[in-house]
Amino acid sequence: MGEMAVALAKKLKNKKLKFDRIIALAKGGLPWARQLQDLLDIPKLSSVEIRSYTGIGKASQKPVVTQKLPVAIKGEHILIYDDVVDTGETVACAKKYLLGEKKASSVVVASHFFKKHSKIKVDIFAKQTDAWIIFPHDSGEMIRLLKKEWKHMDSKQMKSNLLRIGTERSIIDFILT
């Protein structure tokens, strides 16, 4: 992901945009927002939590801001970052919230992964995909969700499937025991 973060940072730098703050969409945007902040020398980092998924591939009807921004950003130029833009509803909700209620001066949306079926076009992304993406830092959540989906499987079969999709054995053992 480091190379992809650099590629995304280069695209942002080439646009010659200056940002006062990067706002990560929690939870997915948190790990790499910090790296982008560092690469682009953006002075401030904050986060907002917006819930839009109820399970693997299962979006809720409407994204909801569940953790508001605790700082004033009126007049700031904001870079919103999320790891994956799937339907686009989450970033659209964030953009509306930051420009409306929080009175940001401008908002640019960046993402590592963009799905072409998204209703919203992000400003800058590193890679386009249609795949469901599981990041290493999401392994516990993913295992718990798959365990519900795979309730018909025994523990041995479940572990075998998780290993086949690349989940680390130590994480599987920790979560399932």
Q: What pLDDT, in 10s, does the model give residues 60-72? A: 668 889 999 999 9
* Domain edges within the chain: 2-128, 136-176
Read off the pLDDT of residues 4-52 as tens digits, 9 standing for 90 and up: 899 999 999 999 999 999 999 988 888 889 999 999 999 999 999 998 7
CATH number of 2-128: 3.40.50.2020
Report pLDDT for 105. 98
Least confident window among 113-117, 138-142, 151-155, 160-164: 138-142
3-state SS track over the chain: CHHHHHHHHHHHHHCCCCCCEEEEEECCCHHHHHHHHHHHCCCEEEEEEEEEEEECCEEEEEEEEEECCCCCCCCCEEEEEEEEECCCHHHHHHHHHHHCCCCCCEEEEEEEEECCCCCCCCCEEEEECCCCCCCHHHHHHHHHHHHHHCCCCCHHHHHHHHHHCCCCHHHHHHHHC
For residue 58, pLDDT beyond 70? no
For residue 111, pLDDT beyond 80? yes
Instruction: Give 145's pLDDT tier (boundaries 50, 70, 90).
Output: confident
